[in-house]
Amino acid sequence: MHFSDFLSLLLLLALEWNVEAIKLVCHDETFVPDAVLRVTAENHTTSCLPSKSTVLVNGTSPGPELRLVEGRTYWIRVYNDMPAANLTMHWHGLSMAVSPFADGTPSTSQWPIPPMHFFDYEVSPAVGMAGTYFYHSHVGFQAVSAAGPLIIDDCEEPPYKYDGEKIVFIGDTFTGNDSTIEAGLVHNPLVWSGEAAAILVNGQGGGTNNGTACNATLSSLDVEPGKTYRFRFIGGTALTFASLAIEGHSNLTVIEADGSYTEPYNTSFLQVAAGQRYSVLLTTKPASEQTKYFMQLESRERPTVTRGYAVLNYGTPDPPSTFYPPAQPVMTLPNTTLGFLDYDLHPHSMYGEEYPSAQDVTRTITMTVHQRVTGPTIWVENNYNWTEQFPQEPYLVSLYKNDGIEFPSMERALANNGIDPVTRSFPAQIGEVIEIVIQNTGADAGGLDAHPFHAHGAHYWDLGSGNGTYNATANNLKLTGSQPVKRDTTMLYRYAMTTGNGTRMGWRAWRLKVTEPGVWMIHCHILQHMLMGMQTVWVMGNSSEVLGKVPTPEVEGYLTYGGDVYGNETHAPNIVQFSDDWEEEQ
Ligand code: C2O
Ligand code: CU
């Protein structure tokens, strides 16, 4: 065979392979999705608040629990049944590298689902991702209620044994409706949402808000004596950083953090921020002296305390009992523990993937967060904010269309603390091992705040946190001999209530091996802060790595708002099937 023949054979094989992997498919009436989420805006009563327009998933908040098995691919159909609002769904904690338009970030990875349309999300949790996640809308303030548990089951036996599972989906709720809150947060001057009116567990809850009682019914977690349960805590709050404990049960053993199995770690309480998840083993009393124990939850790092409860119920679940909050708190919960679980959690020996050493680090990017009050109150990262209004079309769409925004320039970024000022994005190359240091600073007016930072696209090794500024040498010394766990949401703490304007006070460091090409967000998970600009966009990989996966004609339907990939009553969506492991399943 001539060399040129050999080349064309190779080309043919490559093309063939591509055609195998990337398929245009029409989801007509014969198509059956693996799960269906229907999102509506309805008048709904939560806790003690008067009924108000609320975004619900399948009629409830939180929405239904979704259970997927790692190593398989699923189609989840999401209907936007709201006549006047856009919608996306984000699969919080999962890498959506396989299906790039399915990450649910409206200004970044996809056009939102227009009113009365639907979109089929292709979700492929890789083997090793088993754990606790959640799904939520990524538009505006919708995620305060449009969210639900997403559990990725192990394809084999999990490394811990337990008799049962309980989901503890922590939420919060506010007096205003979403549109009022959204408008207030971008208003000049700022109109704050107010503090959480209630902390909810699985959608229910009462307690006190700044001392005012709310006597709403509590969620009941029904257990039997002498059993071990896996409690899956999900930080599905908008704002609340919750400190929590369970009366009479100080034996909590952390076994999972953000989808990573850990070595067992014992604690008597938890701190759960917006976006974080923990699995905890809890062994119930052999014969309980009481039938009811309160779980108490309190907001931290806010000017006032919102307190909520749920019940650990040893009584018969049938018929269900109705529980109300106690007249007085049943426990004194600790104040914020700075650096909670930092340096304490280590990957479970069966899952610990070798993590890159300090010598492997190719670049350190410091992301300085700051609150500006000149003009509207906004949050900036290295002097830039990112909101749903910037840019005008989703970044990934622009890159495909090659019209508006261009690829970030590494040269411009390197000269500007890692962020390219033209595209307002942080570029990184595939194969780089980067350290991302998130640096807290005093606001223009001197205030400091605490922020749960979340990364899309991939999990990072969490290197810990501290006061002042990051010192790599000192921190590496602290990490010697142990391995940190891979997380996707960790806290940037505040070490004082106020400090000087711009004073660097408090850091959080992550180490990330850049492997997944794509356009990914890193942002604070407090919904109010997101709307005020506390979001960043990272472009991992160059143009052929980010766009090369699918040829442009095939993605045409993704490039316009309401394009061919969005279905409605009369139009079946024509979409690209990105994963190549469909054959074996269907
Ligand atoms: Cu759950 Cu972009 O976040
Ligand atoms: Cu924040």
Task: Determine, yes or no, domain membership for 207.
Answer: yes
Task: Determine, yes or no, domain membership for 69.
Answer: yes
- In short, whether 275's Cβ falls inside 6 Å of ligand 1 is yes
Contact 451, 443 (CB under 8 A): no
Asked if residue 274 and residue 197 are part of one domain, the reply reads yes
What is the four-CA torsion angle of 418, 419, 421, 427, rounded to 10 degrees? 100
* Residue 18 zone, left/alpha/beta (φ > 0; ψ -120 to 50; rest): alpha
Between CA 330 and CA 95 the distance in angstroms is 40
Give the three-state DSSP class for 341: coil
Of 329, 351, 373, the residue at which a domain comes to its end is 351
Of 330, 351, 372, the residue at which a domain comes to its end is 351
- In short, whether 68's Cβ falls inside 6 Å of ligand 1 is no
451: enclosing H helix or E strand: strand 451-455
Asked if residue 499 and residue 437 are part of one domain, the reply reads yes
Give the residue from 214, 210, 146, 136 showing the smallest Cα distance to 178.
146
- Return the beta strands (E) in 338-444 as ranges: 363-372, 378-381, 425-428, 433-441
For 156, the token pair is 């084999």
The answer to whether the Cα torsion of 133, 268, 165, 254 is positive or negative is positive
CATH for 111: 2.60.40.420
For 166, the token pair is 């309980």
pLDDT at 266: 98
Question: How far is C-alpha 227 from the geometric centre of its chain's CA atoms?
Answer: 31
CA of 220 to the centre of ligand 2 (A): 31
Q: Distance of CA 260 to CAs 151, 179, 195, 547, 574, Å?
A: 13, 36, 32, 30, 35
Asked if residue 148 and residue 27 are part of one domain, the reply reads yes
Phi and psi, residue 539, nearest 5°: -110, 110
Give the residue from 241, 307, 260, 242 showing the smallest Cα distance to 525.
241
Task: Determine, yes or no, domain membership for 3.
Answer: no
Give the residue from 511, 378, 351, 386 showing the smallest Cα distance to 445.
378
Asked if residue 177 and residue 145 are part of one domain, the reply reads no
Asked if residue 322 and residue 184 are part of one domain, the reply reads yes
Q: Pairing state of beta strands 535-540 and 425-428? A: parallel
CA angle at 399 for the pair 394 and 400, rounded to the nearest 5°: 100
Q: Quick: pLDDT tens for 236-292.
A: 999 999 999 999 999 999 999 999 999 999 999 999 999 999 999 999 999 878 899
Asked if residue 287 and residue 189 are part of one domain, the reply reads yes
Asked if residue 266 and residue 189 are part of one domain, the reply reads yes
- In short, whether 117's Cβ falls inside 6 Å of ligand 1 is no
Task: Determine, yes or no, domain membership for 6.
Answer: no
CA of 456 to the centre of ligand 1 (A): 7
- In short, whether 508's Cβ falls inside 6 Å of ligand 1 is no
Neighbour-count burial for 11-38, b at 16+ CB within 10 Å, e otherwise: eeeeeeeeeeebeeeebeeeeeeebebe
For 36-79, the DSSP string reads EEEEEEEEE--TTSPPEEEEEETTBSS---EEEETT--EEEEEE
Give residue for tokens 């969005």.
566
Between CA 508 and CA 492 the distance in angstroms is 6
Task: Determine, yes or no, domain membership for 5.
Answer: no
Task: Determine, yes or no, domain membership for 99.
Answer: yes
* Count of Cβ atoms closer than 10 Å to residue 322 Cβ: 9
Nearest ligand to the C-alpha atom of residue 90: 1
Q: Quick: pLDDT tens for 361-397.
A: 999 999 999 999 988 999 999 999 999 887 789 999 9
Nearest ligand to the C-alpha atom of residue 488: 1
pLDDT at 392: 84
Task: Determine, yes or no, domain membership for 7.
Answer: no
Neighbour-count burial for 387-413, b at 16+ CB within 10 Å, e otherwise: bbeebebbbbbbbbeeeebebbbeeeb
Contact 206, 47 (CB under 8 A): yes
Q: Distance of CA 130 to CAs 34, 69, 151, 297, Å?
A: 18, 7, 8, 27
Asked if residue 272 and residue 378 are part of one domain, the reply reads no
All residues with CB under 5 Å from ion ligand 2 = 451, 524, 526, 529
pLDDT at 2: 52
Contact 73, 125 (CB under 8 A): no
Asked if residue 376 and residue 250 are part of one domain, the reply reads no
CA of 77 to the centre of ligand 1 (A): 19
Contact 66, 148 (CB under 8 A): yes
**Which residues form the domain of 564?**
18-157+555-586
| Amino acid identity for residue 577 in this structure | Q
- In short, whether 138's Cβ falls inside 6 Å of ligand 1 is yes
pLDDT at 140: 97
Asked if residue 164 and residue 147 are part of one domain, the reply reads no
Number of helical H runs and strand E runs in the chain? 8, 34
Of 314, 330, 351, the residue at which a domain comes to its end is 351
**From atom 1 of ligand 1, which residue's Cα is the shortest distance away?**
92
Which numbered atom of ligand 1 lies nearest the CA of 535? 2
Task: Determine, yes or no, domain membership for 2.
Answer: no
Between CA 37 and CA 35 the distance in angstroms is 7
Asked if residue 284 and residue 177 are part of one domain, the reply reads yes
Total residue length of the chain: 586
Asked if residue 397 and residue 340 are part of one domain, the reply reads no
- In short, whether 521's Cβ falls inside 6 Å of ligand 1 is yes
Q: Pairing state of beta strands 518-524 and 451-455? A: antiparallel
Give the three-state DSSP class for 580: coil
pLDDT at 6: 45
Which numbered atom of ligand 1 lies nearest the CA of 530? 2
**From atom 3 of ligand 1, which residue's Cα is the shortest distance away?**
92
Contact 204, 44 (CB under 8 A): no
Contact 232, 151 (CB under 8 A): yes
Model pTM greater than 0.85?
A: yes
Which residue numbers in the chain have pLDDT < 70? Answer: 1-21, 352, 581-586
Contact 242, 271 (CB under 8 A): yes
pLDDT at 21: 58
9: enclosing H helix or E strand: helix 3-21
Number of domains within the chain: 3
- In short, whether 90's Cβ falls inside 6 Å of ligand 1 is yes
pLDDT at 353: 78
